Amino acid sequence: AAKEYLPAITEAAKLASQCAAEYEDRFDVFVSRMSFDMFCALAVGKQPQTTNAKLATPADLQFVEDSIQGFSMGGQLLLEPHRKWMPGDKMTNFMAAMEGAQRRGTEVANELLDKLEAGQVDGLLANSYMAKLKRRGELSREELGETMMALLMAGVDTTSHVTSWLLLNLAQHPDKQQLLRDELSSVLQGGDLVEDAMGKLPYLKAFIR
């Protein structure tokens, strides 16, 4: 089922790669924004292009920042249980970041739901994960918004961490980078990553796993 979202994710990654050179000294920011773009493409069929400062909306950029800050502080607060009784600035900032991310996640979900209810769906939007949840009719509008927020926040954080390590390992091992490049060039021949090609890319699969 996950392969259904490959075109949306591939397009998001392709658009992000066009801006990679602009993040030479902000690698972590680039990966976080690209992860957000890929998850938005999967979840709501939207290409926010937060890696492109000229096209991204301030609200989407803020969501990425809030998600990163929220998860970072959340990890720190797990080691500081006394913050439950003595919050301080760290707890205050954590709550503000989480509330900001939840607010934007709900907005993104509502934008999609409005379009679905108005019948204004096609292409990536119609095949998005949230559109499929809506068609099942098992969740309320509020529950769909909460699901969207959790999906984006958790997805951006985990995907950015995994992608960062993958790219760093590639950079440290140029011989392996060349092997991967050769396999992709041979199989895809300059085209996009498509479902039919997945079974012909054993090195890519091993690298990601």
Distance (Å, rounded) from C-alpha 130 to C-alpha 113? 8
Q: Is the pTM of this model over 0.85?
A: no
Per-residue pLDDT tens listing for the chain (209 residues): 567 888 888 999 999 999 999 998 998 889 989 998 998 888 888 888 999 988 999 988 888 888 778 877 887 888 888 887 888 888 888 889 888 888 887 888 888 888 888 877 777 788 888 888 888 888 888 888 788 777 777 778 788 888 889 989 999 999 999 999 999 999 999 888 888 888 899 999 888 87
Token readout for 14 is 């392709």
Give pLDDT, residue 2: 67
Q: Which long-range contacts (CB under 8 A, 24 or more apart) does 110-118 make?
A: 110/141, 110/145, 111/44, 112/44, 112/45, 112/46, 112/148, 113/141, 113/144
DSSP, residue by residue, 21-87: GGGTT-HHHHHHHHHHHHHHHHHHS----TT-TTT--HHHHHHHHHHHHHHHHHHHHHT-GGGGTS-
Report residue 110 as tokens. 């509502």
What's the half-sphere exposure (Cβ side, CA atoms, 13 Å) at 46? 21
The length of the chain is 209
Q: In 3-state terms, what secondary structure has residue 109? A: helix
C-alpha distances in Å from residue 6, one per residue of 9, 27, 48, 89, 208: 5, 24, 17, 41, 15
One-letter amino acid at 114 equals D
Q: Residues 131-142: pLDDT tens digits?
A: 888 888 888 888
Please report the pLDDT score of residue 52 as a whole number: 93
